[in-house]
Amino acid sequence: MEKVNGLYSNYVNSDTGKFTRSYHMSLGALGDSFYEYLIKSWLQSGKTDDQARAMYWEVSKAMREQMVLKSKSGLTYVAELRNGLPEHKMGHLACFSVGMFALQAVNEKTEQERVGSCFTTV
Secondary structure of residue 68 in the 3-state scheme: strand
Q: 17-37: per-residue pLDDT in tens? A: 887 777 889 998 888 899 999
Which ranges in the chain belong to alpha helices (H)? Answer: 32-44, 50-66, 97-121
- Per-state percent for the chain, helix, strand, coil, to nearest 5: 50, 15, 35
Torsions phi, psi of 40, nearest 5? Answer: -65, -40
pLDDT given at position 19 = 79
Percent of the chain's residues with pLDDT above 90: 57
Full-prediction pTM beyond 0.85? no
Alpha carbons within 13 A on the beta-carbon side of 16? 9
Q: Could you give the 3-state DSSP secondary structure of residue 75?
A: coil
- 12 and 33 Cβ atoms separated by less than 8 Å: no
